[in-house]
Amino acid sequence: MNKPIIGVIGGSGVYDLDGLENKRWEAIESPFGEPSDEILRGALQGVEMAFLPRHGRGHRLSPSGINYKANIDALKRVGVTDILSVSACGSFEDQLAPGTFVIVDQFIDRTFAREKSFFGNGLVAHVSMAEPVCSRLGDMLEQAAINEDIPVVRGGTYLAMEGPQFSSRAESELYRQWGCQVIGMTNMPEAKLAREAEICYATVAMVTDYDCWHPDHAHVDVATVIEVLIGNSEKARNLVKAVAPKLGKREDSCPQGCDHALDNALITAPEARSADVISKLDAVAGRVL
């Protein structure tokens, strides 16, 4: 197992951490295009960290405009072994009030305008998404949140919508009927690509609003979301600082097999594989190619 390097995908409120040593921004080239931004490298309590602003510094990119493939490829290229995805979300349940953190364990992908796989014509692969989140990371995040007195719920389904508009009331009610707990715009195809890249992945969904289903909170507006986001940012920083030392102690392979997700995924015969496609996958799938 490679030395643990913890990747954090989120906003500026997450990576502006006290105690981050040897800080430097690094531009990482990817064959899949430009990542959202440079990667902030550093060490936190002796643990190597890599922070990637999902929307770019200054929030330049819309959810549909993010190059998810380049982001995950870039993190893989700097050696990231574990990804903590921190993002804002809406809630579908009364008890998941704004300010609550949800450690998601399942996704429903309703996005439609994004490239969702590193693989395709020339090299076909089918990766299991039955368990899209690394339970080891989830366990550590939950315990760290409890230790930091952060309101946290373990488990839940994240509905990924295309955006950038918020839901209609009819959509919001439909997703509640499906049994979803939270809704957001950024964790797909991020989670799928992390799986293909054999990187352990976990989502911390930070509730900012009740979407538009709630009779007492019928409209979602940006001003309200930003106000809650500011409060959530401090909690997110505390969570990252608390969980980093625990993640840095990992020595063995992932017990859930996240780091070997490609073992039985490639289906194209070796002699029929595209050399051009293979050349782009040197980081993502180099272990099996």
| Residues labelled catalytic | 209, 211
**In the Cβ-directed half-sphere of 263, how many Cα atoms lie within 13 Å?**
5
Q: Residue 138 is which amino acid?
A: G
Residue 184: both structure tokens together: 């957001």
Place of tokens 């349940």: 93
CA distance 51 to 10: 8
CB 106 within 8 A of CB 206: no
Q: Which two tokens stand for residue 173?
A: 């009610």
Evaluated on CA atoms 264, 134, 93, 221, the torsion sign reads negative
93 in Cβ contact with 131 (< 8 Å) = no
Q: Distance (Å, rounded) from C-alpha 5 to C-alpha 81?
A: 5
The three-state DSSP-derived secondary structure of 58-105 is CCCCCHHHCCHHHHHHHHHHCCCCEEEEEEEEEECCCCCCCCCEEECC
Is the Cβ–Cβ distance between 67 and 114 less than 8 Å? no
Whole-angstrom distance, CA of residue 211 vs CA of residue 60: 23
Residue given tokens 């392979």 in the structure block: 253
Contact by Cβ (8 Å): 245, 47: yes
